[in-house]
Homo-oligomer: A and B are copies of this chain.
Amino acid sequence: MATLKDVAKFAGVSIATASQALNGKSVNEKTRQRVLECADMLHYVPNKGGQSLITGKSNTILLVIINSAKHANLIRENTFFYSYIMGVLSEAQQHNYNFHLEVKNWEDPDLLDFFRVKCRDKSSDGMIILPQYIKNYDFLQYFEDFPYVILNPCLEDPKINYVSVEHSYGGYIVADLFIKKGYKNIGVIHGPDDHYDAECRRNGFINQLLKNNIIIPQSAQYYSDFTIKSGYTGTRKILLKHPEIEAIFCCNDFVAAGAMQYITESGLKIPDDIAIVGYDNIDIAKAITPALTTIDARLEEVGGVLARILFRQILDNESSIHSFIRPELIKRKSI
Protein backbone atom coordinates (compact mmCIF):
# COMPACT_ATOMS: atom_id res chain seq x y z
CA MET A 1 0.00 0.00 0.00
CA ALA A 2 1.45 3.32 -1.11
CA THR A 3 2.41 5.85 1.54
CA LEU A 4 3.12 9.52 1.37
CA LYS A 5 6.79 8.67 1.20
CA ASP A 6 6.23 6.69 -1.99
CA VAL A 7 4.26 9.50 -3.54
CA ALA A 8 6.98 11.98 -2.63
CA LYS A 9 9.72 9.81 -4.06
CA PHE A 10 7.77 9.20 -7.23
CA ALA A 11 7.10 12.90 -7.71
CA GLY A 12 10.66 13.79 -6.87
CA VAL A 13 9.79 16.05 -3.96
CA SER A 14 10.12 15.88 -0.20
CA ILE A 15 7.50 14.30 2.02
CA ALA A 16 6.64 17.73 3.36
CA THR A 17 5.93 19.09 -0.09
CA ALA A 18 3.86 16.07 -0.99
CA SER A 19 1.81 16.52 2.14
CA GLN A 20 1.31 20.19 1.46
CA ALA A 21 0.40 19.62 -2.15
CA LEU A 22 -2.26 17.13 -1.13
CA ASN A 23 -3.62 19.33 1.63
CA GLY A 24 -4.03 22.47 -0.42
CA LYS A 25 -1.21 24.35 1.21
CA SER A 26 0.80 26.80 -0.87
CA VAL A 27 3.06 25.00 -3.32
CA ASN A 28 3.89 25.68 -6.92
CA GLU A 29 0.95 24.72 -9.06
CA LYS A 30 3.08 22.61 -11.37
CA THR A 31 4.51 20.50 -8.56
CA ARG A 32 1.06 20.15 -7.03
CA GLN A 33 -0.20 18.66 -10.24
CA ARG A 34 2.72 16.29 -10.35
CA VAL A 35 2.13 15.17 -6.79
CA LEU A 36 -1.57 14.69 -7.37
CA GLU A 37 -0.87 12.63 -10.45
CA CYS A 38 1.55 10.41 -8.60
CA ALA A 39 -0.84 10.01 -5.70
CA ASP A 40 -3.51 8.96 -8.14
CA MET A 41 -1.22 6.63 -9.99
CA LEU A 42 -0.12 4.91 -6.80
CA HIS A 43 -3.70 4.74 -5.44
CA TYR A 44 -2.51 6.73 -2.48
CA VAL A 45 -4.93 7.18 0.41
CA PRO A 46 -3.80 8.84 3.64
CA ASN A 47 -3.62 6.52 6.61
CA LYS A 48 -6.16 7.56 9.21
CA GLY A 49 -4.06 6.36 12.11
CA GLY A 50 -1.13 8.46 11.04
CA GLN A 51 -3.30 11.51 10.53
CA SER A 52 -5.09 11.05 13.80
CA LEU A 53 -1.88 10.60 15.68
CA ILE A 54 -0.46 13.91 14.59
CA THR A 55 -3.62 15.99 14.44
CA GLY A 56 -5.23 14.56 17.53
CA LYS A 57 -8.50 14.32 15.61
CA SER A 58 -10.33 11.24 14.40
CA ASN A 59 -13.07 12.87 12.35
CA THR A 60 -15.53 10.59 14.05
CA ILE A 61 -18.46 11.21 16.33
CA LEU A 62 -19.84 8.61 18.66
CA LEU A 63 -23.46 7.97 19.53
CA VAL A 64 -24.01 6.05 22.76
CA ILE A 65 -27.39 4.67 23.72
CA ILE A 66 -27.57 3.66 27.35
CA ASN A 67 -30.31 1.26 28.18
CA SER A 68 -31.46 -0.58 31.25
CA ALA A 69 -30.92 -4.34 31.28
CA LYS A 70 -34.33 -4.66 32.86
CA HIS A 71 -35.78 -3.36 29.63
CA ALA A 72 -33.32 -4.99 27.28
CA ASN A 73 -35.75 -5.33 24.42
CA LEU A 74 -36.50 -1.65 24.32
CA ILE A 75 -33.50 -0.98 22.15
CA ARG A 76 -33.84 -3.89 19.81
CA GLU A 77 -37.52 -3.58 19.24
CA ASN A 78 -38.21 0.08 19.58
CA THR A 79 -37.25 1.49 16.26
CA PHE A 80 -37.53 5.07 17.31
CA PHE A 81 -33.83 4.93 17.98
CA TYR A 82 -33.45 4.44 14.29
CA SER A 83 -34.76 7.94 13.71
CA TYR A 84 -32.27 9.43 16.12
CA ILE A 85 -29.52 7.50 14.40
CA MET A 86 -30.50 8.73 10.97
CA GLY A 87 -30.68 12.29 12.23
CA VAL A 88 -27.24 12.15 13.72
CA LEU A 89 -25.75 10.22 10.84
CA SER A 90 -26.92 12.57 8.16
CA GLU A 91 -25.55 15.54 10.04
CA ALA A 92 -22.26 13.73 10.52
CA GLN A 93 -22.03 12.97 6.82
CA GLN A 94 -22.68 16.58 5.95
CA HIS A 95 -19.67 17.47 8.07
CA ASN A 96 -17.63 14.70 6.50
CA TYR A 97 -17.39 12.91 9.79
CA ASN A 98 -17.57 9.22 10.47
CA PHE A 99 -20.34 7.86 12.61
CA HIS A 100 -19.71 5.38 15.38
CA LEU A 101 -22.49 3.70 17.35
CA GLU A 102 -22.51 1.92 20.72
CA VAL A 103 -25.27 0.46 22.85
CA LYS A 104 -24.55 0.01 26.55
CA ASN A 105 -26.46 -0.95 29.67
CA TRP A 106 -26.48 0.91 32.95
CA GLU A 107 -25.75 -2.43 34.55
CA ASP A 108 -22.59 -3.10 32.53
CA PRO A 109 -19.84 -3.40 35.11
CA ASP A 110 -17.50 -1.65 32.69
CA LEU A 111 -19.81 1.26 31.94
CA LEU A 112 -17.76 3.88 33.74
CA ASP A 113 -14.62 2.47 32.26
CA PHE A 114 -16.18 2.62 28.82
CA PHE A 115 -16.64 6.36 29.13
CA ARG A 116 -13.24 6.86 30.66
CA VAL A 117 -11.65 5.13 27.71
CA LYS A 118 -13.78 6.68 25.00
CA CYS A 119 -13.03 10.16 26.26
CA ARG A 120 -9.31 9.56 26.07
CA ASP A 121 -8.44 7.08 23.36
CA LYS A 122 -8.94 9.59 20.55
CA SER A 123 -11.15 7.22 18.62
CA SER A 124 -13.79 9.91 18.41
CA ASP A 125 -13.89 13.69 18.66
CA GLY A 126 -17.11 13.89 20.60
CA MET A 127 -19.99 11.91 21.99
CA ILE A 128 -23.77 12.06 21.90
CA ILE A 129 -25.44 10.32 24.80
CA LEU A 130 -28.99 9.00 24.78
CA PRO A 131 -29.66 7.86 28.34
CA GLN A 132 -32.74 5.73 28.83
CA TYR A 133 -33.83 4.98 32.36
CA ILE A 134 -31.69 7.48 34.16
CA LYS A 135 -29.50 6.18 36.88
CA ASN A 136 -26.87 8.82 37.43
CA TYR A 137 -24.36 10.91 35.57
CA ASP A 138 -21.21 9.76 37.29
CA PHE A 139 -19.64 9.18 33.91
CA LEU A 140 -19.54 12.91 33.28
CA GLN A 141 -16.53 13.08 35.58
CA TYR A 142 -14.41 11.76 32.75
CA PHE A 143 -15.39 14.30 30.16
CA GLU A 144 -13.38 17.32 31.26
CA ASP A 145 -12.85 18.98 27.89
CA PHE A 146 -14.19 16.18 25.76
CA PRO A 147 -17.12 17.37 23.62
CA TYR A 148 -20.45 15.74 24.42
CA VAL A 149 -24.15 16.37 24.50
CA ILE A 150 -26.88 14.55 26.39
CA LEU A 151 -30.47 14.10 25.37
CA ASN A 152 -32.98 14.85 28.10
CA PRO A 153 -30.82 14.60 31.17
CA CYS A 154 -32.90 14.60 34.30
CA LEU A 155 -30.70 17.27 35.80
CA GLU A 156 -30.69 20.40 33.71
CA ASP A 157 -27.42 21.67 35.06
CA PRO A 158 -26.50 24.84 33.14
CA LYS A 159 -22.94 23.65 32.89
CA ILE A 160 -23.67 20.50 30.94
CA ASN A 161 -24.52 20.37 27.24
CA TYR A 162 -27.92 19.00 26.51
CA VAL A 163 -30.96 18.93 24.31
CA SER A 164 -34.24 18.88 26.11
CA VAL A 165 -37.39 17.70 24.40
CA GLU A 166 -40.19 19.15 26.45
CA HIS A 167 -42.15 16.01 27.07
CA SER A 168 -44.16 17.60 29.83
CA TYR A 169 -45.46 19.94 27.16
CA GLY A 170 -46.31 16.90 25.06
CA GLY A 171 -48.36 15.54 27.94
CA TYR A 172 -49.97 18.94 28.34
CA ILE A 173 -51.07 19.03 24.69
CA VAL A 174 -52.82 15.71 25.00
CA ALA A 175 -54.60 16.69 28.20
CA ASP A 176 -55.71 19.90 26.56
CA LEU A 177 -56.98 18.01 23.53
CA PHE A 178 -59.01 15.69 25.75
CA ILE A 179 -60.45 18.65 27.62
CA LYS A 180 -61.43 20.46 24.45
CA LYS A 181 -63.13 17.32 23.19
CA GLY A 182 -65.08 17.25 26.44
CA TYR A 183 -63.82 13.91 27.68
CA LYS A 184 -64.27 13.41 31.40
CA ASN A 185 -63.59 9.71 31.75
CA ILE A 186 -60.00 9.25 30.84
CA GLY A 187 -57.52 6.42 31.05
CA VAL A 188 -53.78 6.59 30.74
CA ILE A 189 -51.07 4.07 30.12
CA HIS A 190 -47.81 5.39 31.45
CA GLY A 191 -44.28 4.40 30.59
CA PRO A 192 -42.09 2.61 33.11
CA ASP A 193 -41.87 4.53 36.35
CA ASP A 194 -38.09 4.72 36.19
CA HIS A 195 -38.07 6.24 32.71
CA TYR A 196 -37.48 9.95 32.90
CA ASP A 197 -39.05 11.01 29.61
CA ALA A 198 -42.14 9.00 30.47
CA GLU A 199 -42.30 10.68 33.85
CA CYS A 200 -42.32 14.10 32.18
CA ARG A 201 -45.14 13.16 29.86
CA ARG A 202 -47.05 11.79 32.80
CA ASN A 203 -46.66 14.92 34.87
CA GLY A 204 -47.52 17.28 32.04
CA PHE A 205 -50.61 15.28 31.30
CA ILE A 206 -51.84 14.73 34.84
CA ASN A 207 -51.20 18.30 35.94
CA GLN A 208 -53.08 19.86 33.09
CA LEU A 209 -56.04 17.61 33.80
CA LEU A 210 -55.84 18.51 37.48
CA LYS A 211 -56.00 22.19 36.61
CA ASN A 212 -59.30 21.40 34.96
CA ASN A 213 -60.49 19.42 37.92
CA ILE A 214 -60.14 16.08 36.26
CA ILE A 215 -58.66 13.37 38.40
CA ILE A 216 -57.82 9.99 36.98
CA PRO A 217 -58.27 7.22 39.53
CA GLN A 218 -55.31 4.95 40.03
CA SER A 219 -57.30 2.07 38.62
CA ALA A 220 -57.51 3.89 35.29
CA GLN A 221 -53.76 4.32 35.17
CA TYR A 222 -51.38 1.59 34.12
CA TYR A 223 -47.60 1.47 34.05
CA SER A 224 -46.43 -0.25 30.89
CA ASP A 225 -43.01 -1.27 29.69
CA PHE A 226 -43.50 0.52 26.36
CA THR A 227 -44.41 -2.66 24.48
CA ILE A 228 -47.39 -3.56 22.34
CA LYS A 229 -48.21 -6.37 24.69
CA SER A 230 -48.31 -4.18 27.78
CA GLY A 231 -50.47 -1.73 25.88
CA TYR A 232 -52.88 -4.55 25.24
CA THR A 233 -53.00 -5.85 28.80
CA GLY A 234 -53.02 -2.37 30.29
CA THR A 235 -56.01 -1.39 28.21
CA ARG A 236 -57.84 -4.56 29.15
CA LYS A 237 -57.19 -4.01 32.79
CA ILE A 238 -58.41 -0.44 32.66
CA LEU A 239 -61.46 -1.05 30.51
CA LEU A 240 -62.67 -4.03 32.51
CA LYS A 241 -62.82 -1.82 35.55
CA HIS A 242 -63.86 1.37 33.77
CA PRO A 243 -66.13 0.65 30.81
CA GLU A 244 -67.17 4.29 30.90
CA ILE A 245 -63.80 5.46 29.62
CA GLU A 246 -63.91 7.63 26.51
CA ALA A 247 -60.26 8.27 25.79
CA ILE A 248 -56.86 6.79 26.58
CA PHE A 249 -53.50 8.48 26.41
CA CYS A 250 -50.73 6.01 25.61
CA CYS A 251 -47.14 6.78 26.52
CA ASN A 252 -45.88 5.69 23.13
CA ASP A 253 -47.08 4.43 19.77
CA PHE A 254 -46.35 0.78 20.52
CA VAL A 255 -48.56 0.91 23.56
CA ALA A 256 -51.20 2.69 21.49
CA ALA A 257 -51.04 -0.11 18.93
CA GLY A 258 -51.58 -2.67 21.69
CA ALA A 259 -54.46 -0.63 23.08
CA MET A 260 -56.07 -0.48 19.69
CA GLN A 261 -55.74 -4.22 19.26
CA TYR A 262 -57.59 -4.86 22.47
CA ILE A 263 -60.24 -2.28 21.75
CA THR A 264 -60.87 -3.58 18.25
CA GLU A 265 -61.02 -7.14 19.49
CA SER A 266 -63.59 -6.06 22.05
CA GLY A 267 -65.79 -4.92 19.21
CA LEU A 268 -65.45 -1.25 20.10
CA LYS A 269 -64.85 1.47 17.55
CA ILE A 270 -61.97 3.92 17.50
CA PRO A 271 -62.44 6.85 17.90
CA ASP A 272 -66.23 6.71 18.24
CA ASP A 273 -66.32 4.54 21.35
CA ILE A 274 -62.85 5.22 22.62
CA ALA A 275 -60.32 7.75 21.42
CA ILE A 276 -56.62 6.95 21.47
CA VAL A 277 -53.60 9.22 21.44
CA GLY A 278 -50.07 7.90 21.17
CA TYR A 279 -46.66 9.41 21.55
CA ASP A 280 -43.48 9.60 19.41
CA ASN A 281 -44.91 9.46 15.90
CA ILE A 282 -42.92 6.51 14.65
CA ASP A 283 -43.82 4.66 11.47
CA ILE A 284 -46.30 2.49 13.29
CA ALA A 285 -48.52 5.49 13.88
CA LYS A 286 -49.09 5.77 10.15
CA ALA A 287 -49.34 2.04 9.62
CA ILE A 288 -52.14 1.10 11.95
CA THR A 289 -55.84 1.46 11.26
CA PRO A 290 -57.21 3.94 12.02
CA ALA A 291 -54.08 6.05 11.64
CA LEU A 292 -52.92 7.16 15.04
CA THR A 293 -53.20 10.69 16.40
CA THR A 294 -49.98 11.14 18.28
CA ILE A 295 -47.37 13.51 19.60
CA ASP A 296 -44.48 13.98 17.26
CA ALA A 297 -41.33 13.81 19.35
CA ARG A 298 -39.41 15.04 16.29
CA LEU A 299 -36.93 12.25 16.59
CA GLU A 300 -34.88 12.74 13.47
CA GLU A 301 -34.73 16.48 14.02
CA VAL A 302 -33.56 15.89 17.58
CA GLY A 303 -30.77 13.69 16.22
CA GLY A 304 -29.71 16.50 13.92
CA VAL A 305 -29.78 19.08 16.69
CA LEU A 306 -27.71 16.86 18.95
CA ALA A 307 -25.11 16.46 16.25
CA ARG A 308 -24.99 20.16 15.48
CA ILE A 309 -24.48 21.00 19.13
CA LEU A 310 -21.65 18.53 19.24
CA PHE A 311 -20.05 20.10 16.19
CA ARG A 312 -20.29 23.54 17.74
CA GLN A 313 -18.10 22.20 20.50
CA ILE A 314 -15.72 20.33 18.24
CA LEU A 315 -15.33 22.96 15.56
CA ASP A 316 -16.08 26.26 17.29
CA ASN A 317 -15.04 25.39 20.80
CA GLU A 318 -18.30 26.52 22.31
CA SER A 319 -19.52 25.10 25.60
CA SER A 320 -22.52 24.97 27.91
CA ILE A 321 -24.93 24.67 25.02
CA HIS A 322 -28.60 23.97 25.59
CA SER A 323 -31.41 23.51 23.17
CA PHE A 324 -35.11 22.99 23.71
CA ILE A 325 -37.47 21.28 21.35
CA ARG A 326 -41.23 21.23 21.61
CA PRO A 327 -43.11 18.16 20.52
CA GLU A 328 -46.23 18.76 18.51
CA LEU A 329 -49.59 17.18 17.93
CA ILE A 330 -50.09 15.15 14.75
CA LYS A 331 -53.79 14.77 14.08
CA ARG A 332 -54.83 11.59 12.39
CA LYS A 333 -57.90 9.41 12.80
CA SER A 334 -57.85 7.94 16.27
CA ILE A 335 -59.47 10.87 18.05
Q: How many copies does the complex hold?
A: 2
Q: Which residues of B contact A76 (CB under 8 A)?
A: 83, 86, 300
Chain B nearest CB from A115 CB (Å) reads: 11
- Is the pair B58, A48 in contact by a Cβ cutoff of 8 Å? yes
Residue from B93, B116, B287 within 8 A of A288 (CB atoms): B287
- Is the pair A49, B43 in contact by a Cβ cutoff of 8 Å? no
Cβ-based interface call for A47 (8 A): yes
Chain B nearest CB from A114 CB (Å) reads: 11
CA distance A300 to B78 in the complex (A): 13
CB contacts under 8 Å to B, within A167-214, are: none
Residue from B43, B89, B122 within 8 A of A101 (CB atoms): B89
- Is the pair B52, A48 in contact by a Cβ cutoff of 8 Å? yes
- Contacts A103-B93, A261-B291, A287-B288; A121 near B53 (Cβ below 8 A): no
Q: Which residues of B contact A282 (CB under 8 A)?
A: 79
- Is the pair B101, A99 in contact by a Cβ cutoff of 8 Å? yes
Chain B nearest CB from A222 CB (Å) reads: 18
Cβ-based interface call for A111 (8 A): no
- Is the pair A121, B46 in contact by a Cβ cutoff of 8 Å? yes
- Is the pair B47, A122 in contact by a Cβ cutoff of 8 Å? yes
- Is the pair B260, A121 in contact by a Cβ cutoff of 8 Å? no
Q: Which residues of B contact A47 (CB under 8 A)?
A: 53, 121-122
Q: Which residues of B contact A228 (CB under 8 A)?
A: 283, 286-287
For A292, give the chain B residue with the smallest CB separation. Answer: B287
Q: Which residues of B contact A79 (CB under 8 A)?
A: 79, 82, 282-283
For A145, give the chain B residue with the smallest CB separation. Answer: B1
- Contacts A76-B300, A100-B98, A288-B257; A50 near B53 (Cβ below 8 A): yes
Residue from B49, B78, B102, B120 within 8 A of A93 (CB atoms): B102
- Contacts A53-B53, A99-B100; A116 near B45 (Cβ below 8 A): yes
CA distance A317 to B185 in the complex (A): 66
For A123, give the chain B residue with the smallest CB separation. Answer: B48
- Is the pair A287, B289 in contact by a Cβ cutoff of 8 Å? no
CA distance A115 to B99 in the complex (A): 16
Cβ-based interface call for A29 (8 A): no
Interface string of A145-159 (1 = CB under 8 A from B): 000000000000000
Cβ-based interface call for A254 (8 A): yes
CA distance A287 to B53 in the complex (A): 49
CA distance A93 to B89 in the complex (A): 20
CA distance A130 to B179 in the complex (A): 48
- Contacts A82-B81, A86-B75; A48 near B288 (Cβ below 8 A): no
Mark A residues whose CB is within 8 Å of B.
1, 43, 45-53, 58, 60, 75-79, 81-83, 85-86, 89-90, 93, 98-103, 116-117, 120-123, 228, 253-254, 257-258, 260-261, 264-265, 282-284, 286-289, 291, 300
